[in-house]
A and B are shown apart, each in its own frame.
Chain A
Amino acid sequence: MSLSFVRTEMEEPQPAPSSTVGIVAWARTNLFSSIPNTILTIIALYLLVRLAVGIFPWIFLGVWDAGSLSECREIFAELYPDGREYACWAVIADRWDQIIFGYYSADQYWRPILGWILIGVSAVPVLYPNTPRSLLYVTVATAFVYPFLVWGGTIWPYLMAAVGFGVGYGVYRILAAVTAGNAFSSVIAVSGSVIAAAVWWIGLSGPISGALAEAMPWGIEAFRSRDLAGFALAITIGVVAIAASLPLAIALALGRQSNMLIVNKLSTGFIEMIRGVPLITLIFVAVVLLQYFLPSGTDVDPILAIMILVTLFTAAYIAEVIRAGLAAVPKGQYEAADSLGLNYGLAQRLIILPQALKIAIPGIVSNFISVFKDTVLVSIVFPNDPLGIADTIRADSNWNGIVWELYGFIALVFFLFCFAMSRYSLSLEKRLQTGHR
């Protein structure tokens, strides 16, 4: 018996039925799968169209070129005799630079712009691991260059602040070498370097930078904190809080997990105290009450006080997120680290923290997003945040009566920043996904 026919080549596969692929299928499964679903889809589509019909003309038929709200209205009256009015974007054209850069004079705009570019560059090696490590030097330098660009004055105080870290590190290396072999070597070296750096900053850096500034007054125009405004203010507070709070938060989270009683209690107490008080209360205390406690005439720099507080506040919250990450690392990982003979520092750095932070990333980034938006809370004590600027612009008789255009623009800028952060967090999660969860 033999087969009379054997097919020698494969039949071309048939295309999938049109009802299961393409946009029709997608719409059928997602939008019109059942009668209630279809009804909801139609209602939603109707509302969306209504919204678009209402908003889009207002946005896209707006006037960009006018000197005041009443000029806008005259233009509309001329164009549309039936009394229709659309957005008066002229206020943004007139004042967008104030909203973004605050009260820097136009010839100083390069300072915040350069600062933000530096922040962008310095974020690269932190955000993307496959970049040259030498970029990390830019990151470190930015910590001192950015304040110099924002506040200006002579370059020396910023340089002396940076030197303080060098002093601390140098003392650490020397003490570590001298006390090598001693059981308390690391404790002695660390506390010695902290003391040396503190002595440098508090006692020496001021007079030295003062003397240098007199001898070589190199610098740029000084800028007062009080004139820092708009998104330049929000970004400065946000970036400082984000950059400074993460290391602090890691230290607090580890402290709270620690077996050392005092470290543990101090960390717990700090976290709970900060988390127990609303941010707005803390800001109020920092700026208003502090003035009562300090000697008369002491000018508490409100921006500095707010930055410190927002940093502490964010750190306390992120510490809890990281603690949750630490708790989620299986106990076996700790035991594995111990069995390899790693000491505490190495075990945390090489095994525990990378896993814990990976788990904590979404929580950390959502804290960053909320702290960036929380910067507008400073308006209660310091009226120059982006929303405060909107009030100031509305108090100009040219723009008195403008509402939607201004707040819409500010909302858009906030959205762009926050959306970028959340996209970044998603991509980071995907890249770090190693199939543990």
Chain B
Amino acid sequence: MKRSIFACAAVALTMTGGALAAQTLDAVKERGELNCGITEGTLGFSARDANGVHQGFDVEFCRALAVAIFNDADAVNYVELSSANRFTALTAGNADVLYRTTTWTLTRDVDLKTNFVGVNYYDGQAFMVPAELGVSSALELDGATVCIEVGTTTELNLADYFRANGMEYQPLPVGGTTEAKALFEEGACDVYTTDGSALAGVKASFPDPSAYVILPEVASKEPLGPAVRHGDEQWADVVRWVQNALIEAEEYDITSENAAQLAESGSIPAVNRILGVEGGLGEMLGLENDFALNMITKVGNYGEIFARTIGESTPIGLPRGLNALYTEGGIQYAPPFR
């Protein structure tokens, strides 16, 4: 008797263990809202506006995911995470997915037991110089004084980059972005280097942004993407294909305006499969067949999200660059919907 109870308990334990890992989608559906891990405030990517509403590039992806699951862009519980506790929060189940400007690296993928399921923004370390310096390429920066935040990977990347190109530089170590910006503005250093998206924000905050240029070279790869827990492939698939649908929609020119029309007319097979008119792909994921149609109607495709939150028409003014579609010179590429 004793033994059988013990065995039952063991079986129950293993079952609940497996169940916990495999049921994120069901758990989210049951809860009625998505716990989306975001940053506490990163210009353009996520921040609260004057009404306390979350806005930004990463926030739009949370909203898109919520539409895919609930057909309701507001069914999101935003979990603001610092860089110190983001992975813990994900592992412990306080966030279902991280859209938190998190760079995909091997150690994070393998050692921290997270699954990165795509790249929603290809970032990279870039260099900004005053326009009056007349520099047009990072390779002309030999001998420059560089403002660099201490203890960051950007510091190491900078050293690697200059050594690889046989150049010398004078580092001016600073404590953080605010300090670096002040020093750079008063001319204590010729170059300020950090991630390209952050650099664009710093540039936008100057009284005269056109007095500064961001050089085209990037010194590092910083692919930022959504991360989920290890061990729940179904949930990873959902997050992955939600993002792929947004990119694929841009490729086929499905926009928030014409999505409903395209679904109705149903004349292009590839578009039909994305919008769920044929193929039943949504149900394979455990979602509704028209999840992408709802998503694109309510949130827009990848290009629309980009343009609305961080694109060139916004004050941040990031160019598409690497984040353009592969058909337009970038590397954003979604596997086919079939």
Contact = CB atoms under 8 A, between A and B. Distances in A.
Interface in B32-75: 40-44, 46-52, 55
B213 interface: no
Nearest to A293: B92
Interface stretch (B82-90, B257-265, B295-303): B82-90
A156 to B, nearest CB: 23
Interface string A125-142: 000000000000000000
B153 interface: no
A291 B88 CA distance: 7
B84 A381 contact: yes
B91 interface: yes
A291 B92 contact: yes
B321 interface: no
Interface stretch (B122-130, B161-169, B199-207, B327-335): B199-207
Nearest to A85: B207
A305 to B, nearest CB: 12
Nearest to A105: B52
A397 B315 contact: yes
A381 B82 contact: yes
A382 B80 CA distance: 7
Contacts of A227: 52
Interface residues of A, number: 39
A262 interface: no
A284 B41 CA distance: 20
B325 to A, nearest CB: 25
A392 B44 contact: no
A284 B84 contact: yes
Residue from the set A388, A394, A395 with the largest chain B CB neighbour count within 10 Å: A395
Interface in B110-150: none
A395 B42 contact: yes
B32 to A, nearest CB: 14
B43 A397 contact: yes
Nearest to B82: A383
A380 B43 CA distance: 19
Contact of B50 (A85, A95, A388): A95
B109 to A, nearest CB: 19
A69 B43 contact: no
A287 B27 CA distance: 23
B315 A400 contact: yes
Given A294-B92, A299-B94, A400-B204, 18 more contacts: A70-B315, A98-B50, A226-B77, A288-B85, A298-B92, A298-B93, A380-B82, A381-B82, A384-B40, A388-B40, A392-B41, A395-B43, A396-B49, A397-B201, A397-B314, A400-B205, A401-B206, A403-B178
Which 5 residue pairs of A and B lie closest in terms of their CB atoms, listed nearest first? Answer: A401-B205, A383-B40, A395-B41, A291-B92, A395-B47
Interface of B: 20, 27, 40-44, 46-52, 55, 77, 79-82, 84-85, 88-89, 91-94, 178, 181, 201, 204-207, 314-316
Interface of A: 69-70, 73, 85, 94-95, 98, 103, 105, 226-227, 284, 287-288, 291-292, 294, 296-299, 379-384, 388, 391-398, 400-401, 403
18 contacts: A69-B205, A70-B315, A73-B207, A94-B50, A226-B80, A288-B88, A291-B89, A291-B91, A379-B82, A382-B82, A383-B40, A383-B80, A383-B81, A394-B43, A395-B47, A396-B47, A397-B44, A400-B201
